């Protein structure tokens, strides 16, 4: 299945009149429209290779058909998304779930689809069939030096795969921790993890970044060795300038103020990137913006403000990625919704009158501060996002075109109704 340029232009033609009517409000009333559109065109969100099939819970999984059966088909799926929205120009691999056996060919295929390789992810939270030692009691924290070495070697191997693909960052998420009080010596676990991470850090190419992802709970439910932004920040600080904290929106204790965490990490030069998703209860991995769109907007407001304060490039200086799972939706449709939610929050954040906000803050005027933020949040920026997509060569309405072309049915025709993508 290929989405041709004519598909896009024919479909856009059917939508154009309505689109231009909505956009005219912006071009007539709002001076900021043009810079926002330009920034949106540049902004890309990476798609994880493990989110292209239907996910599930430990109670079951309900595959939807036409799922990608190989890395090549996963790249093709991300290519479809990118053809539709022109904002999903990167793919992130989880190894060994996806191992490029012929890296040059895979790199070429990605380039043909307009994609680059985002962060590579290691996996020491599961035992693989051919693995000598078990991670049941942790990996980089393990009491046995041989287990730690096995996990270190795996991470170095993942870096090598990433180098071959032209990636420039490694994300390490550890499930290490303990399930019961007394099980683990916290200080020893911290020291062992730090020295293991230092060995991985030493193997990073000069222009690479190491992202240390934290998570408060699951699969360990008493303690997680990299359990919060404080411990991730500590590891990243001790490791050195190439190490950063990665924020996954679902990895906090309930009601955490994520925007404040983001603001401080960014202020300290230690924010590396994001795993976007949404949640109501825990690490739910739901569609971005489906539960707490205001929180997402507040996070982006801090990002825009903090990145500008540090002279950072919004599109390039942080890792932007989705980390979601799709249990009842078509994964490709779900990912289109997630990317759009991110773009909307970003566009709204760009609209915030930051000068006026700062004045309100200095004057201790919370009413005015709230008005300023909510004025931006309640603005319908969908025409701006659509216009950015149109100018970049994408569809005015990616989801609409996806359904018009009946993409899923086509994929089922090509791949079969009972395919099973690797990943979560
Ligand atoms: C762990 O919950 C996590 O967020 C990490 O980023 C893993 O790499 C990913 O999920 C696996 O889906
Ligand atoms: Mn994650
Ligand atoms: Mn997670």
Residue 14 has pLDDT above 90, yes or no: yes
pLDDT at 422: 65
Residue 57 has pLDDT above 90, yes or no: no
Ligand 1: nearest atom to the Cα of 250: 4
Cα 68 from Cα 11, distance rounded (Å): 26
DSSP strands (E only) in 13-115:
47-48, 56-57, 60-61, 90-94
pLDDT at 424: 57
pLDDT at 402: 98
Cα 174 from Cα 191, distance rounded (Å): 15
- In contact, 85 and 340? CB cutoff 8 Å: yes
The mean pLDDT value for 288-299 works out to 98
Q: Tokens 């109670």 belong to which residue?
A: 59
Residues in the 5 Å CB sphere of ion ligand 2: 248, 275, 323
Helix (H) or strand (E) holding 322: strand 319-322
| DSSP one-letter string for 338-372 | HHHHHHHHHHHHHHS-HHHHHHHHHTT-HHHHHHH
Ligand 1: nearest atom to the Cα of 424: 12
Q: Say which ligand is closest to the CA of 94.
A: 1
Q: Is 50 in the pocket of ligand 1 (CB under 6 A)?
A: yes
End-to-end CA distance of the chain: 24
Cα 403 from Cα 155, distance rounded (Å): 40
23-37, 296-310, 328-342, range with the lowest pLDDT: 23-37
Q: Tell the burial category of 386 from Cβ atoms under 10 Å away from its Cβ (0-12, 13-18, 19+).
A: buried
Q: Say which ligand is closest to the CA of 250.
A: 3
Ligand 1: nearest atom to the Cα of 121: 8
Residue 420 has pLDDT above 80, yes or no: no
pLDDT at 275: 98
The mean pLDDT value for 43-55 works out to 95
Ligand 1: nearest atom to the Cα of 248: 4
Q: Is 173 in the pocket of ligand 1 (CB under 6 A)?
A: yes
Q: Is 334 in the pocket of ligand 1 (CB under 6 A)?
A: no
- In contact, 384 and 12? CB cutoff 8 Å: no
What are the CA-CA distances from residue 17 to residues 12, 157, 393 (Å)?
Answer: 9, 52, 17
The mean pLDDT value for 305-327 works out to 97
Q: Tell me the CB-side half-sphere exposure of residue 267, using CA atoms within 13 A.
A: 7
Residue closest to 332 by CA, chosen among 411, 418, 415 = 411
Which of the four pLDDT bands, split at 50, 70 and 90, describes residue 31?
confident
Above pLDDT 90, what percent of the chain?
A: 94
pLDDT in tens, 178-195: 999 999 999 999 999 999
Ligand 1: nearest atom to the Cα of 325: 12
Q: Is 121 in the pocket of ligand 1 (CB under 6 A)?
A: yes
Q: Whose CA is nearest to atom 3 of ligand 1?
A: 173
Q: Whose CA is nearest to atom 1 of ligand 1?
A: 173
- In contact, 64 and 335? CB cutoff 8 Å: no
Helix (H) or strand (E) holding 36: helix 33-42
Residue 29 has pLDDT above 90, yes or no: no
Which of the four pLDDT bands, split at 50, 70 and 90, describes residue 357?
very high
Q: Whose CA is nearest to atom 9 of ligand 1?
A: 323
What are the CA-CA distances from residue 64 to residues 261, 277, 323, 329 (Å)?
Answer: 37, 21, 19, 8
The overall pTM is greater than 0.95: yes
């Amino acid at each position: 299945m290929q989405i041709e340029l004519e598909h896009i232009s024919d479909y856009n033609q059917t939508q154009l009149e309505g689109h231009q009517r909505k956009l005219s409000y912006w071009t007539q009333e709002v001076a900021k429209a043009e810079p926002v559109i330009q920034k949106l065109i540049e902004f890309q969100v990476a798609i994880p290779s493990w989110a292209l099939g239907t996910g599930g819970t430990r109670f079951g999984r309900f595959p939807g058909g036409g799922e990608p059966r190989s890395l090549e088909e996963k790249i093709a799926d991300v290519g479809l998304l990118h053809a539709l929205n022109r904002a999903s120009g990167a793919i992130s691999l989880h190894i060994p779930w996806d191992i490029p056996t012929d890296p040059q060919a895979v790199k070429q295929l990605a380039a043909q689809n307009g994609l680059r390789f985002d962060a590579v992810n290691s996996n020491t939270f599961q035992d693989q069939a051919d693995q000598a030692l078990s991670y049941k009691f942790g990996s980089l924290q393990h009491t046995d030096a041989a287990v730690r070495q096995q996990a270190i070697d795996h991470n170095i191997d993942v870096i090598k795969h990433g180098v071959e693909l032209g990636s420039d960052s490694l994300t390490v998420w550890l499930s290490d921790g303990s399930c019961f009080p007394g099980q683990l010596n916290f200080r020893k676990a911290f020291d062992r993890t730090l020295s293991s991470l230092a060995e991985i850090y030493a193997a990073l190419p000069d222009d690479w970044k190491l992202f240390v992802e934290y998570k408060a709970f699951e699969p360990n439910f008493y303690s997680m060795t990299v359990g919060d932004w404080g411990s991730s920040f500590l590891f990243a600080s001790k490791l050195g300038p190439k190490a950063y904290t990665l924020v996954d929106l679902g990895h906090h204790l309930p009601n955490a103020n994520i925007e404040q965490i983001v603001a401080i990490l960014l202020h300290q030069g230690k924010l590396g990137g994001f795993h976007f998703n949404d949640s109501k209860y825990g690490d739910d991995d739901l569609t971005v913006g489906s539960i707490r769109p205001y929180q997402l907007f507040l996070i982006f407001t801090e990002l825009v403000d903090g990145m500008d304060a540090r002279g950072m490039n919004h599109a390039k200086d942080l890792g932007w990625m989705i980390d979601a799972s799709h249990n009842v939706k078509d994964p490709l449709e779900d990912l289109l919704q997630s990317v759009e939610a991110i773009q909307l929050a970003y566009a709204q954040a760009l609209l915030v009158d930051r000068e006026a906000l700062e004045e309100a803050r200095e004057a201790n005027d919370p009413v005015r501060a709230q008005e300023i933020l909510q004025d931006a949040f309640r603005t319908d920026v969908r025409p701006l996002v659509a216009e950015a997509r149109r100018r970049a060569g994408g569809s005015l309405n990616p989801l609409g075109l996806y359904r018009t072309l009946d993409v899923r049915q086509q994929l089922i025709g090509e791949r079969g109704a009972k395919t099973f993508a690797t990943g979560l």
